[in-house]
Structure 1
């Protein structure tokens, strides 16, 4: 390989700190750069599903963090893809005053307009906030119209508890429904291969997808280069050998293990 495990881990450590790597586009002095790392505890993002995709060959490598959920400040359901590697076509949003250069791509699952269409419109103001009408029959999610299961007991059995405050009717929340589909129809709320490949070379081979892994809170300030999960990932990318995925730590990346979307 024309890259090393050390190089991979160094780039992961930079993203963990939010520091752009040296292959980010130079841009102009007033431009703003963001380098994101997977975060299962984000206060503005109510996490549902998440996974890690690995791509690579002898010269190129890429890690794509995928996370779906509800943006409680943006009022939309989304998939977030964070790209780290040596062959990333970094997204650039251009505006008259500056450009924003990032390693993140957002895919809409449920628009704010769709949430408004199915919003509960009865009761107090807070009973209408981010709760779905019991009369709503369908939802447009990831460009598909699918039925809404209104049986709250099915949600509870999956560990999805209805909001306690200002929710006397135990209505389904905006984030609840994405978590429900993540448990019952995960393909619906997952990125397609075409969507994932948007900022990767079209001919880069896929090595594997990791759906279960050991996650360490960013609050613990342990760099990826010192975490078992990413040491194994660096070994796999630098060799192309998936047999190096032999975790000894229990997987804990399921949304139920982390508090998110709480701000």
Structure 2
């Protein structure tokens, strides 16, 4: 089953209306990093948007993944997410101060995927600054690897684009179908034409561009 561009844009807008579209300014999630993948062949397509975020209330760093595709049993466009599947920090009790929540103990590295990552911040630093400090040197450990992507998108579906930065809409002001990025990505997905993605707006996906992120 093929899908036209407008059908994909309508899907994005419906997901946004139900608060299921990637929101970089989420008040309970401190943005750390993000990445976007577009896959397509003659009949199938998938868009995977990753958002690595620190959730102070949940005591976790997770790669929150939103998937839009036509890969379901009936081939109809759909969206779904893996919100809790990709936890990253493995030694939380060692790095969060027992008496000062959300603060770094200063006692050791941050363990991600079994690797101990050195931290330059001192004891008492905000944990969000510790985690953001792992990027860009260790960003590939925080984002999906090949096996994790394989859980989201079947093997054999060509990956046409990987974006480490792009222009993301403020969902309180702009629906995805009115955002240049997603209009162009819908065309890439529907046609397989990679050159349809030709952005004119500056990227804004760095955490510093979203002051509301993790503000509650």
User: Given the two structures, how large is their TM-score scaled by the length of structure 2?
Assistant: 0.88
Mapping of 1:63-212 within 5 angstroms?
A: 63-88=47-72, 103-105=80-82, 106=84, 107-111=86-90, 114-120=91-97, 125=99, 128-134=100-106, 136-150=107-121, 171-212=124-165
Contact in 2 for aligned 1:88/1:200 (Cα 8 Å): no
Q: What is the Cα deviation at residue 110 of structure 1?
A: 1.1
Give the Cα separation in 2 of the matches to 1:39 and 1:88: 24
Partner of 1:235: 187
- Which consecutive aligned stretches of 4+ in structure 1 deviate over 6 angstroms post-superposition? none
Deviation track 1:178-205 (CA, whole Å, cap 9, x = no partner) reads 2111233211211112212213222211
Q: What is the Cα deviation at residue 88 of structure 1?
A: 4.9
Partner of 1:5: 5
Contact in 2 for aligned 1:110/1:140 (Cα 8 Å): yes
Partner of 1:43: 27
Match 1:226 to one of 164, 178, 190: 178
Give the Cα separation in 2 of the matches to 1:75 and 1:205: 36
Contact in 1 for aligned 2:94/2:105 (Cα 8 Å): no
> RMSD of the alignment, in Å?
2.0
Contact in 2 for aligned 1:44/1:261 (Cα 8 Å): yes
Partner of 2:37: 53
Ranges in structure 2 where 5+ consecutive residues have no aligned partner = 74-78
Give the Cα separation in 2 of the matches to 1:225 and 1:146: 40
Q: What is the Cα deviation at residue 235 of structure 1?
A: 1.1
Give the Cα separation in 2 of the matches to 1:254 and 1:142: 23
Q: Decide whether aligned partners of structure 1 residues 88 and 63 sit closer, same or farther in structure 2, where only a CA change above 3 A counts.
A: farther
Deviation track 1:6-28 (CA, whole Å, cap 9, x = no partner) reads 1111111111112xxxxxxxxxx
Contact in 2 for aligned 1:15/1:37 (Cα 8 Å): yes
Give the Cα separation in 2 of the matches to 1:176 and 1:141: 16
Give the Cα separation in 2 of the matches to 1:186 and 1:139: 13
Give the Cα separation in 2 of the matches to 1:120 and 1:2: 52
Where 2:135 maps in the other structure, the secondary structure is helix
Number of aligned positions between the proteins:
208
Contact in 1 for aligned 2:169/2:176 (Cα 8 Å): no
Q: Decide whether aligned partners of structure 1 residues 219 and 187 sit closer, same or farther in structure 2, where only a CA change above 3 A counts.
A: same
